[in-house]
């Protein structure tokens, strides 16, 4: 489906609103997807999805939450599709990428807990990212993901419990 892109007030407002959200969206996608390139793709996909639904957004004051929800869902979908261990097709180009530095991957590699987050189910990863890397309240996460508050709480509980167990198991900190 080709998107109709009417020039004028709607598009201008859309661009203005999106521009303010791109940094936050890109970083959330980067931490979740652990790849600068895929974060870029995901951000663009979110922009495209948002543009598709732009005419249905009634309250532009809620744009940030609305766009953030789209970004989170895009990332969640991508995580689900690559669930489990990621297989990388080896060719000249990707062989180089395997050794390439990636700001998000590096950030997550600074602490073992960053690596462990990757092993959580996608739904839990998203909640952890929104809670600790975007500093959203539980209620804001519930709103952003369109899931009940209780679900947010349980996902966070299970995620943190898994991380703590694994950290303890590795004997990094005896408590």
Partner 1 sequence: MNYEEDLDLTTRLRRISAEPEPDAPSTVYVFLDRVAAGGPVEAGDVRRGFPRLSVRRSRPRSFARLAAVMGVAAVLVLALSGTLLLTIAHPSAVTTSPRYPDLWSALEWQDITATGFPPANDQSGGTSTADLRIVTWRGAAYANKVSDGSLWSSTDGVSWQKIAGAPALDNLLATPDMLLGQSIAEAPCQLPDSAGVVRPSTCQLSSVGWYSSDGLTWNRSSLEIPAGDAISSWAAIGSTVVVLAGASDYGMGDPAKQTSLAYVSTGGSIWHASTMPDDMVGAINCYVVSTRAGFVVSGIVVDPAGPVQISGSNISIGSFEIHGYQRSWVSSDGLNWSVYQGSAEVSGAGAIAAIPSGMTVPLSLELSTVYVGSRGDVMPGIGHSTDGTHWLQDSDGPFNALITGQASFSSNGSQVVACGDGPSCYVTLGDGRWQALQNGGTVSNLPRQGQGWAIQGGLLWDAGGRLYFGRALTGVTLQQTIKVAPAPTPTPFTEGPTPPPLPAVSLTPVSEWSGTGNLVKLPAGPIGADQVVAWAHGYVALKNGPSGGHIQVWSSKDGSAWAAVPQGAFTGSTGQLTAIGDSVMLATWNDGNGIWFSSNGVDWARTTIGGPPIGDLPMAGSGLGMVAAMDEPEGQVMYLASPDGQWYGMSLPGAVIQTSKSIALSGSRWVLVGKMSNPKTGDWVPASWSSSDAANWKEATVTGADGQGFLSIVAGRDGFVTVSKATDSGGTASGPATLWSSPDGSTWTKLTTPLGADATLTGDGNHVIGCQVDSGRLACWSSIDGQTWTVLTFGTDAATLADWTALGANPRAFAVGDGVLIVTADGAWYAPAVVQK
Residue 72 in contact with residue 130, Cβ under 8 Å? yes
Site string for partner 1, 72-111 (x = CB under 8 A): xxx--x--xx-xxxxxx-x-xx-xxxxxxx-xx-xxxxxx
For partner 1, how many residues bind (rule: CB under 8 A)? 116
Distance CA 143, CA 132 (A): 16
Cβ neighbour number for residue 146 with a 10 Å cutoff: 9
Q: Min. distance of Cβ 157 from partner 1 in angstroms?
A: 6
Range 35-54, binding partner 1 (CB under 8 A): 36-37, 40-41, 43-53
20, 60, 137, 172: which one contacts partner 1 (CB under 8 A)? 172
Please report whether residue 19 would count as binding partner 1 according to CB under 8 A: yes
Q: Which is nearer to partner 1, 5 or 60 (CB)?
A: 5
State the virtual CA torsion across 35, 36, 42, 44 in degrees, nearest 10.
-170
Please report whether residue 63 would count as binding partner 1 according to CB under 8 A: no
Q: Which is nearer to partner 1, 61 or 175 (CB)?
A: 175
27, 32, 126, 136: which one contacts partner 1 (CB under 8 A)? 27
Range 132-171, binding partner 1 (CB under 8 A): 132-134, 139, 144-151, 153-158, 160-171
End-to-end, the C-alpha distance of the chain in Å comes to 56
Residue written as token pair 């521009």: 19
Distance CA 136, CA 23 (A): 16
Q: Which is nearer to partner 1, 60 or 106 (CB)?
A: 106
Please report whether residue 69 would count as binding partner 1 according to CB under 8 A: yes
Query: Which residue in 14, 129, 105, 124 sits closest to 60, CA to CA?
Result: 14
Residue 142 in contact with residue 152, Cβ under 8 Å? yes
Q: Min. distance of Cβ 5 from partner 1 in angstroms?
A: 4
């Amino acid at each position: 489906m080709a998107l109709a892109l009417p020039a004028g007030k709607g598009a201008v407002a859309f661009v203005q609103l999106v521009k303010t959200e791109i940094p936050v969206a890109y970083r959330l996608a980067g931490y979740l997807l652990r790849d600068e390139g895929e974060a870029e793709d995901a951000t663009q996909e979110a922009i495209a999805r948002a543009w598709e639904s732009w005419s249905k957004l009634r309250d532009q004051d809620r744009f940030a939450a609305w766009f953030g929800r789209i970004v989170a869902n895009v990332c969640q979908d991508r995580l689900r599709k690559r669930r489990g261990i990621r297989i990388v097709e080896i060719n000249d180009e990707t062989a180089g990428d395997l050794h390439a530095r990636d700001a998000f991957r590096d950030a997550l590699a600074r602490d073992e807990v960053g690596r462990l987050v990757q092993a959580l189910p996608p739904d839990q990863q998203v909640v952890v990212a929104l809670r600790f890397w975007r500093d959203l309240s539980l209620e804001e996460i519930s709103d952003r993901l369109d899931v009940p508050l209780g679900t947010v709480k349980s996902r966070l509980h299970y995620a943190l419990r898994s991380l703590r167990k694994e950290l303890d198991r590795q004997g990094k900190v005896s408590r």
